[in-house]
Every structure is written in structure tokens, then in C-alpha cells.
Amino acid sequence: MYRVRHLASFVLLGALLTSAFAASNNKADKKPSEEKRLASEVDKILGDPEAARGFWGIYAVSMDTGKPLYALNQDKLFTPASNTKLFTTAAVFGLIGPDYRFKTTVETTGTLDKYGRLNSDLVLVGRGDPNLSGRTLPYNMHTERKTPPIQVLQTLADQLVQQGLKYIDGDVVADDSYFVFERYSEGWSQDDLAREWGAPVSALTINDNVIFVNIMPADRPGERAFLTVVPFPEYYKIDNRVMTTPQGTGPRTVSINREPGSNQLTFWGNIPQDDPGFGEALAIEDPADFTARLFRELLEERGVTIYGRARTHHTELASTQTFSVTSMASGGGDTTRPPNPAPLVLASYQSQPIAQDLRVINKVSQNLHAELMLRLLGKEKGTSGSIQGGLEVLRGFLIRAGIKPEQFVFLDGSGLSRENLVTPDAVVAILLYCHRQPWGQLYEDTLPIAGVDGSLAERFRTTPVMGLVHGKTGSLAHVYSLAGYATTQRGEHIAFSIMTNNDTMPAKKALDTIDQIVEKMVEDKK
């Protein structure tokens, strides 16, 4: 009897071990089967003849286990477009910090006497604030501009009058020398430079360095269209050749041109009488020059008499030293001279914390602001407020974050350059690095939410993905990308990167293909 019981115990133990081993194997096999399911479905999507002509790079990693979920050309270099902003904003969070504030001042090295006479130049000093504009902050779901685009300049002018300023013997100077005078980065297309997304970079940025043009049909056919420019239309020479056509004569055909280096705006074409009208944002050629002239006019409107002219102060790329307002007045860095007295600050404006603008950059993919952040990195943490200074700081940050030098080539901070290169593996690596940082949640919150806001507001709205993805978009001609964080329907957290280059598909088809891949990553297939 004892032997039978003993044998039965061994049989039961063996059965339990076999069952446990089988359960363990089933559990172990569950993940590979899920990976195989995802691989099969993504491969099917990319098997579409139009999609197959492009060059695709995809990498998705489980943030819970660290294991790859899907990989395709993850170690190959791609043009990332605006996915570049993921790296720039990460470096600002990590090196500058979310609480940094910009300060814009109006200064002088002269004196203001009791009669309100300033015996020197009046200098408006910019230090890279991206939001000297009518933009509403904090950003909430969409861009709002409820205040005048030049309100900050108006406020500074009011402060000067309150200080008793009545006469200026010198010039009104717009000083953007805090950053090197490099308006454009290498690899930017000439076609972009007159448009909002290619606005020139300046440490003195007003209204995103653009003007708003609105075009409306005239009251009668055969007349020139109504055209308005905001702000400061006097700065431009406007040639309006847009003619109003009778109702029902088809879609409008309006073209706009501004030659590089010119302040002449030319408009031509036709606009039907029943057209509701439309608006365009056009880039300013030299933001500091625009600001100097505008600020001079604002002061004159407030009764200030100005005997000098409006002019700029830039730091040219060839300079070996960035001059301050005081060194500009003294003539430079002669160390044998006694130090110059600090300039007299007559008016000032301080920005909101920089985290608010990092949110704008990633939510709406704001190129100019990203470029200002690159230069800020160079100014605050590197050798100079230049493109190269910023890129050197960015490179060091990424290497310390564990990204190999051969995995990226960046020539700007926004992604507008077609010479930028990065691997999907590096994109996922920066996402994982940021997730582990104390500011990781702030960083993730800067990304658009699928189907909700920013550049993803109109994507995924009728899919199960809505609300489950925080991702950064990117697009240039024949280049599309999407990268970010996702929570699957199973509750798994993933970081992913999807890029396609040399793509000849229509833009909508390319974006739909990317979205289908994301849907397959997120959905639960039981």
C-alpha cells in the first residue's frame, strides 16, 4: 500500500510539473505569437504596391519589458523631418530646464534727464524669446491669438513713456546679437524661406517673424481684391494684381511672391466675388530691421521725438566674440580698459517658463521656435548662440543619453533641413531616455495626442487609437514620420518610430499607411 501511495505521489508530482512546464511554455510563447501577429500585419500593410516603392524604417519597443516588438531597417539612416524636434526639445528639458525664462529689455548706455531727454541710443535687446506675439499661453488644444501681435512692443513703449521719455538724441536700435546672425540653416529649401514654416531666425522675434496677409474679393467684378497686412504694413512695398471675377467663375487662383532680400510683396491672380477670402502668413526678411522700424513708430505714436534713425545690431557669423550692448558702445573687448558700466534698463518683459513653448513646438511643430531653442543651447551651454554652437551641445547631450554618433546627423533643430539623418533606433532611444528622466512626463505632455490636439487632431479620430498615442509628426516632400509613446489596448506601454523616405504616394495615402501601422501596434488581438 505504501509503495502504491508513493508511486501515486510521484505520478501526481510529475503531472503537476508537466502542467506547470506546459503553462510556462504557453506563457513564454504568448509574446512571440503577438510579435509574429504584429509582424505579419505590418508586412501586409507595407506590401501595398504604392507603399512598397518607398524606403521604410520602423522600430517599436515595449517600455514594460524592454523587448523589441517590431523592427525594420531600424539601424538605417532616414531623413526625419520634424521628428528632429524630439531631440532638440529633449536637450532643452535636460540641459536648460523647464523653468527657464527669457528676458527682453530696452536699455541705454546714456542718461535720461529730468526733461525726458535721452542723450544716447535706445536699444531693444532680444534674447531669444519665441513668444513676443499675440499667441495665447499656455497652449490648450489649439493655437489662439487673442491679443494684438505686437502687444509686447506696445507694452514696452508704454513703460518708456511712463519713465518720462520724451526725446531720443540717438538711434532706435534693435539688437539681436544674443544669437549669431544666421537666419537659415544648411539644407533648407529656397521655396520655404518666404513662408511661415521657413521664417528667419533672430534673437529678436516678433509675431513668429511673419506678417498676416488677408485677401478678400472686391465689391464688383473687374476691381482689384481687398488686401490687408498685419502688423506694420508700411514696412512693405505691395504690388496687388489680384482681380475680382464674377460669382461662380471657379476656384480662386492667387499667387504670392517675395524675392529673397526684398521687402516687396507681389500678389496676382483671380478671386471670385463669392469667395469667402483667405489668409496667409509670410516670413519677414530681417526681423530685427522690421522691429527697429516698428518700435520707432510706436514711440512716435506716443509722442516721443526721435532725432536718430532706426537700425539693427547683429553678431555676424565671422565674429569671434558675441558683443553685449555695453561692449557695442565701448568698441569691443579691450581688456586694458576699465569695465564699462552696466546699461540702464528702462523697460523689460519676462516670458513664461520655457516648458510652455516646448509644448507649442511639439504640439504644432513650430519650426522657428525649435531653431531658437537650438541656438539657446549653444548660448547657454556651449561656445556661442550659433547653429554650430547649438549642434555641438546637442551632440554631446545625445551621446550622454546613449545614442551613438553614427546614428544621427543634424544640421538644424527643427527638421526643415533635408540633410538631417537619424535611425529609427535612435528615435526610440531618445524617447526611452526621456521617459526615465524626472521631467519625462512634461516631455511626453508636449506631444500631440492622437485624435485630440496639435498636428494629430485630425488623425485617428474614428479609431481605437484615439487618445492612446502621444506622437510627434513629421513631413517634407516624399518624407513622412511619426514617433512617440503608445498604450496598447492590452495596457502595454510602447515607444515607437515610423519613417518613410523616397515615397511617391500622395500625402494622404502615406499618412494613412503610417496610421494603419500604429493601429496594429495598439489594438488587442486575442
For 30-40, the pLDDT digits (tens) are 455 778 889 99
Please give the average per-residue pLDDT across 366-383, as a whole number. 98
d(CA 513, CA 526): 23
Please give the average per-residue pLDDT across 269-286, as a whole number. 94
Q: According to the model, what pLDDT value does residue 341 have? A: 74
Helix 287-301 crosses helix 151-162 at what angle (to 10 degrees)?
Answer: 50
Please identify which residue in the block is written with the cell numbers 534713425: 309
For residue 323, pLDDT over 50 is answered with: no
Residue 16 vs residue 439, higher pLDDT: 439
DSSP state of 343: P
CA distances from 25 to 19, 20, 22, 193 (A): 10, 8, 5, 59
Residue ranges of domains in the chain, CATH in brackets = 41-97+353-522 (3.40.710.10), 101-183+286-332+339-352 (3.50.80.20), 201-282 (no CATH)
Please give the average per-residue pLDDT across 348-356, as a whole number. 98
Residue 10 pLDDT grade (very low, low, confident, very high; cuts 50, 70, 90): very low
Q: Report residue 509 as a C-alpha cell.
A: 495615402
Question: ω before 231 within 30° of 0 (cis)?
Answer: yes
Backbone angles phi, psi at 217, to 5 degrees: -65, 150
Q: Report residue 445 as a C-alpha cell.
A: 505632455
Q: How many CA atoms are closer than 13 Å to the CA of 135, on its beta-carbon side?
A: 27
**Residue 524 Ramachandran class (φ > 0 left, ψ -120 to 50 alpha, else beta):** beta
Give pLDDT tens digits for 417-467: 999 999 999 999 999 999 999 999 999 999 999 999 999 999 999 999 999
Q: Sign (positive/negative) of CA torsion 12, 15, 17, 20?
A: negative
CA distances from 242 to 246, 251, 395, 503 (A): 13, 13, 48, 35
Give pLDDT tens digits for 141-189: 889 988 999 999 999 999 999 999 999 999 999 999 999 999 999 999 9
Per-chain mean pLDDT for the chain: 90
Task: Quickly list DSSP for 145-173.
Answer: B-S-TTHHHHHHHHHHHHTT--EESS-EE
Backbone angles phi, psi at 321, to 5 degrees: -150, 140
User: Partners of 476 in the beta sheet?
Assistant: 479
In single-letter form, the type of residue at position 350 comes to: Q
Residue 259 vs residue 487, higher pLDDT: 487
Q: Kindly tell me the burial class for residue 319, based on how many C-beta atoms sit within 10 Å of its own C-beta (0-12, 13-18, 19 or more).
A: middle
For residue 319, pLDDT over 80 is answered with: no
C-beta separation of 468 from 459 below 8 A: no
Q: Report residue 139 as a C-alpha cell.
A: 497652449
Q: Which residues contact 517 (CB under 8 A, 6 or more apart)?
A: 42, 45, 46, 58, 498
C-beta separation of 82 from 484 below 8 A: no
Neighbouring C-beta atoms of residue 323, cutoff 10 Å: 18
For residue 19, pLDDT over 60 is answered with: no
Residue 319 vs residue 515, higher pLDDT: 515
